[in-house]
Chains A and B, each alone.
Chain A
């Protein structure tokens, strides 16, 4: 206990000094003409990959290191396949991008990067809690949180529909600038039911999938948490059987009445199309539908506002899927690779990446919430201002606070949406649906 404490203190102390020195010229001598290889997430926004290559090459030229980047798509889970295979082959890239739960999956094959993360925190403050939860395992940072690929799930809503049908001024509650918390205090789950009812009656319902795909988890996970319902606690004890879960299920029973009938078959792109088509009034999503609408349906885009999800009776949460850069423990170029990671994770580079992603990426350092890309996005002017959290929402992911390896099962096996669908489609009782979930959870618990 004592030793680890002093070690951490030492790391923190030295990293304060290391902020400057890590980027220092040792690389030039030790790694001249060396090569660092990266397998990074293939960004879907045109130009984002090119910017990444530029930034990495800048560092490479400065340090006389050859940087090679492959972009690996998440379509077809190619990135997961590559990571699983590289981890077992103990060969491949030095640095690989990992989505949300994969740090726990590869925990033993990833080099600790406490020095890099501590250096970043010393300079810029804390990472979002969700990033800490997913990448700082057993007290050790196993990967560096990055903006590239990270996203959050705010609501993307039609300003005109909310104003005209529900009588809610979203821009007033969640302005593109300092907000008055008083104004948004009625933005609650309970009141949202009433908005949803009106929007549904007017033919412009709220729509999000309730199925196996990830968007389903990213709005239902935070919704259940906001009622205080947790599937398992941080020690892996099953806690699904609770009044909070019943309350959330009862809420869903009512909410789905005001949603389209076919949401159970929606995939991650269906809610985007729902909004872009002009039929939908609001969804939970990163800004991708807004970006597409700017091209295909400009009149829709000009009315889309990104803002907080409603607060629940026991908390205010927003879905978040962070991306991480992990350094393989079997990499032959660890010190050069760490130096490159630090370079790319710093404010200037992260801001450049966010800009290149047209605001889709979301930095995981809390103090990076003021990048000009979010402030300047238009039309409508400032629509992305609230894409990084500006209020009191806590970023989270379905499955939290269970240990990430268990949470990954809760997430990917779609425990929460399946439980909801059992109640709302199959008309199972709350008790039966919860009993089913507990049985599933017992299966997720294996070490």
Chain B
């Protein structure tokens, strides 16, 4: 398996497969794909349509809800920028996400290298312990964590999220990275050791370059965790100037029992845009990375 996963040259040839199969298989594939895409993209499409409708049309029961009948309006997007703290939420979210990704990657790579290669006393138990922390739900931790964040003086400060989000991202990322590092042939270590590398140099010069796809995969996971987090910002942040995208959008557009649907949908789509861009760029690495890493876990 290890040798197989390392080599992208062994990819199956889909075109070859297609040539030998009957035509209807392709037709059926496209049909099935079409059905699945309706399932995946129907709700985002509906959100897009809603975000471009006027309030009157959203409230109107008589028209087809799936199309825009009364003309497109960008009013909800404009209001999002002008009348809510959306740009502030955006800035805060970016800062939190970048910091969490950086912390997660440094901590996970160090730990994963040590656990995968340096068989020190207790390494196995530690690896299991890191996995077990993944089983502890956020809903259980926020009260004690609030106490800790208060002690740090970080209540109502988005820096608190930089402190707590790594607890969600590190266990998963460490496990992915352990899988990656284990799949690196030991011959590489031996060669590096003979060249006189110590462990820090070996990690930096050998392991990180070789496992780059896995690192990118883990990065994207950490990115998602901190970008989409909901419970912790809900519990720790209340000022608009400290708020992040998810909670900020919801709390500034649901006022009492009045829902500003157009704005909510616009906010959801705008919040989804940065991850889409990030993933589009990194997709190929991501695919190669996640697979060979996770199969070794």
Contacts and interface: CB of A to CB of B under 8 A. Distances in A.
| Complex: A in contact with B (CB within 8 Å) | yes
A92 B155 contact: yes
A81 B150 contact: no
Contacts of B182: none
B205 interface: no
Contacts of B285: none
Contacts of A82: 235, 238
B256 interface: yes
Contacts of B59: 273, 276-277, 296-297
A12 B147 CA distance: 38
B101 to A, nearest CB: 25
A73 interface: yes
B184 to A, nearest CB: 44
B257 A73 contact: no
B239 interface: yes
Contacts of B234: 76, 78, 81
B255 interface: yes
Nearest to A91: B150
A78 B143 contact: no
A105 B59 CA distance: 39
Given A39-B238, A42-B251, A70-B238, A288 B256 contact: yes
Nearest to A297: B59
B156 interface: yes
A89 B150 contact: yes
Nearest to A214: B257
Contact of A44 (B156, B239, B258): B258
Contacts of A89: 146-147, 150-151, 155
Contacts of B142: 81, 85
A75 B234 CA distance: 9
A71 B256 contact: no
A137 B55 CA distance: 45
Nearest to B149: A89
A75 B251 contact: yes
Contacts, number: 76
Nearest to A151: B256
Contact of B258 (A73, A84, A92, A272): A272
B34 interface: no
A72 B146 CA distance: 16
A269 interface: yes
Contacts of A92: 150, 155
Contacts of B144: 88
Interface in B143-199: 143-144, 146-147, 150-151, 155-156
B254 interface: yes
B84 to A, nearest CB: 12
Nearest to B239: A70
A255 B249 CA distance: 39
A30 interface: no
Interface residues of A, number: 33
A84 to B, nearest CB: 6
A126 interface: no
Given A70-B156, A88-B147, A269 B238 contact: no
Chain B interface, >50% SS class: helix
A269 B257 contact: yes
A72 B238 CA distance: 6
B227 to A, nearest CB: 18
Nearest to A285: B257
A44 B256 contact: yes
Nearest to B253: A75
Interface string A16-56: 00000000000000000000000100101100000000000
A10 interface: no
Contacts of A76: 234, 247, 250-251
B259 A269 contact: yes
Contact of B235 (A85, A269, A273, A277): A85
Nearest to A46: B255
B80 to A, nearest CB: 16
B10 interface: no
A292 interface: yes
Nearest to B236: A85
Nearest to B59: A296
B55 A296 contact: yes
Contacts of B247: 76, 78
B56 interface: yes
Contact of B143 (A75, A84, A91): A84
Greatest chain A CB density within 10 A among B56, B143, B146 is at: B146
B61 interface: yes
A268 B257 CA distance: 6
B169 to A, nearest CB: 22
Given A88-B147, A277-B61, A44 B255 contact: yes
A78 B146 CA distance: 13
A268 to B, nearest CB: 4
Interface in A263-292: 268-269, 272-273, 276-277, 285, 288, 292
Given A70-B238, A78-B234, A269 B258 contact: yes
A81 B234 CA distance: 8
A85 B235 CA distance: 8
B143 A85 contact: yes
Nearest 6 pairs of A and B residues by beta carbon: A44-B255, A44-B256, A85-B146, A89-B150, A89-B147, A91-B150
21 contacts: A42-B251, A44-B256, A44-B258, A71-B238, A73-B238, A81-B234, A85-B142, A85-B147, A85-B236, A86-B146, A88-B144, A88-B146, A215-B257, A269-B257, A269-B258, A277-B61, A285-B257, A288-B256, A296-B55, A297-B59, A360-B256
Given A44-B258, A85-B150, 11 more contacts: A76-B247, A88-B147, A89-B146, A89-B147, A91-B147, A269-B258, A269-B259, A273-B59, A277-B61, A292-B258, A360-B256
Interface of B: 55-56, 59, 61, 142-144, 146-147, 150-151, 155-156, 234-236, 238-239, 247, 250-251, 254-259
Interface of A: 39, 42, 44-45, 70-73, 75-76, 78, 81-82, 84-86, 88-89, 91-92, 215, 268-269, 272-273, 276-277, 285, 288, 292, 296-297, 360
